Amino acid sequence: MTTGYASHISPPKGGWSPLLEGAAREVFEVMLKSPLGAGDASAEQNSELIAMVGLTGDLSGFVSVHCSTEAACRMAAKMLNADPQAYNDTARDAVGEVCNMVAGSFKSKLGSAAADCKLSIPFIISGAECVMETNPGGTHVKVPLSFDGSPLVVALDLRN
């Protein structure tokens, strides 16, 4: 177990993005039966919901998923195989659980290098046009994607 607040794993060959994108695609394909498309890099500016899962130990930082409330409702509907209109109340729970699975899948893809990395429970921030300030000097990776026609961003922020 490492101590302090810095990340102790070097980025894999090819960088963090392919691992993060692979983790997100796996979650949406397996659990939502809805493959992700390519996205628009400006999507984060319009996010209404941000779900985050903290990383501690060998990696220090967090994985986040940014989307609209409407996209989160559709995630809940896909996860529950139901009508999106009926699932406003579970949208936050759904996007939190999606983020939780993306973080877990990302960690798994790092293999034994991340054996001492622990995940927090997910937490959600909501509001009009949520924008997250990133840690200066840290690593910030943003993967713009598209879910069911709506913009969706998966991001990784690490303390160096």
Interacting residue ranges for another protein, rule: CB under 8 A: 26-27, 30-31, 76, 79-81, 90, 93-94, 96-97, 100-101, 103-105, 107-108, 112, 114-115, 119-121
Q: What is the DSSP letter of 135?
A: P
Residues 6+ apart with CB under 8 A from 150: 67, 68, 70, 71, 74
Separation in Å, CA 74 to CA 25, 46, 71, 82: 16, 17, 5, 9
Q: In angstroms, give the least distance from the CB of 17 to another protein.
A: 20
C-beta closer to another protein: residue 50 or 114: 114
40 burial level (CB within 10 Å; 0-12, 13-18, 19+): middle
Rounded CA gap, 58 and 6, in Å? 8
C-beta closer to another protein: residue 84 or 96: 96
Q: In angstroms, give the least distance from the CB of 115 to another protein.
A: 5
Q: In angstroms, give the least distance from the CB of 136 to another protein.
A: 29
Rounded CA gap, 98 and 100, in Å? 5
C-beta closer to another protein: residue 28 or 44: 28
C-beta closer to another protein: residue 26 or 40: 26
Q: In angstroms, give the least distance from the CB of 132 to another protein.
A: 22
Q: In angstroms, give the least distance from the CB of 141 to another protein.
A: 19
C-beta closer to another protein: residue 102 or 153: 102
H-helix or E-strand spanning residue 70: helix 69-80
